[in-house]
Amino acid sequence: MTEVSFLRTLAERLPDIGDDCAVVEIGATQVLLKVDMLIEDVHFRPGERTAADVGYRALARPLSDIAAMGGRPQFALVSLAVAPWTTEAWLTGFYDGLLALASRHNIRVVGGDLSHTSKLIADVFLVGQATRPLRRSTAQPGDLLYVTGPLGKQKWRFSPRLALGQRLARDPQVTACMDLSDGLALDLHRLAFASSLEARLTHVPVQKGAHLARALHYGEDYELLIARTGPWPNPPQGVIPIGRLVKGKQPGRVLLTGTRVPPVGYDHLKQT
């Protein structure tokens, strides 16, 4: 069983799943819902990260999805299953890291669950609001593609692009957006596929010290991938054009200066 095949099966039963966050209406408000797990020995090794680093990242990752939808995060719930090695000092450090980031973005941590298991798992649930949620499926033929920074050099304590995402949501020419968590190759494939388009990359900005394969396939960049219609005379600082979307016979196909880029991402090197 591959994750992709199972997610396809699941998607048929749960038609709402597809964007970086779920979008639901509560009263007259468009509400974003997101959940994301951070797991020992999958996403981090305790000996290599401080407790505060783990807490920071457990919140930063789903925050990046709220950012990609142009949302404003409001509430968080934290489920934590601790491991036999977990001490009270570690837990305190974990919440230090998490609550510092929450405070920076005015997020209230309003609940959670605490239990124990063999490998530590932190599962963070976020509730946000969006005036115009930015989706993956709404890009148009001819839209230009952008990323919000160079790719390929993963930073553990990255800054979720919340202010930038909210600015993009106010720009009616921005047609689609998502965050780059699994690598440009796979994530651009997903955006193009969701919009029934092909992508033509002309430039992949590579972070100093990284290389092209890393920028395309390694993931965990947590920059935003943007599709936007028409010229953009004054893009926000850091935004870099990388190509365009076109009609084509193979929705989801990505070409880099004529060569096909396979939709292969981080931790999924076996299949598409």
Shortest Å distance, C-beta 77 to its own copies:
5
Strands of the sheet containing 108-116, edge to edge, are 22-26, 29-39, 121-129, 72-82, 108-116
Shortest Å distance, C-beta 37 to its own copies:
5
Q: Which of 31/239 has CB closer to its own copies?
A: 31
Q: Name the 3-class secondary structure at 19.
A: coil
Dihedral angle, C-alpha 249, 250, 251, 252, nearest 10 °: -150
Backbone angles phi, psi at 168, to 5 degrees: -60, -40
Q: Which of 148/181 has CB closer to its own copies?
A: 181
Q: Which of 116/247 has CB closer to its own copies?
A: 116
Shortest Å distance, C-beta 179 to its own copies:
14
Q: List interacting residues with its own copies (CB under 8 A).
A: 1, 3, 5-7, 9-10, 13-14, 16-17, 21-22, 24, 26-29, 31, 33-37, 39-42, 74-75, 77, 79, 81, 87-88, 91-92, 95, 99, 108-119, 121, 123, 125, 127, 129
Shortest Å distance, C-beta 26 to its own copies:
5
Q: Which of 27/231 has CB closer to its own copies?
A: 27
The gap from C-alpha 169 to its chain's centroid, in whole angstroms, comes to: 16
Shortest Å distance, C-beta 262 to its own copies:
22
| DSSP per position, 79-105 | EEEE-TT--HHHHHHHHHHHHHHHHHT
Q: Which of 10/212 has CB closer to its own copies?
A: 10
Which residues have CB under 8 Å from 13's CB, separation 6+? none
CA gap 216, 184 in Å, rounded: 5
CA gap 269, 43 in Å, rounded: 16
DSSP-assigned beta bridge partners for residue 200: 244, 255
Shortest Å distance, C-beta 107 to its own copies:
11
> Token pair 């590579």 is at which residue?
206
Q: Which of 70/152 has CB closer to its own copies?
A: 70
Shortest Å distance, C-beta 78 to its own copies:
8
Beta strands 224-228 and 174-179, pairing class: antiparallel
Q: Which of 117/202 has CB closer to its own copies?
A: 117
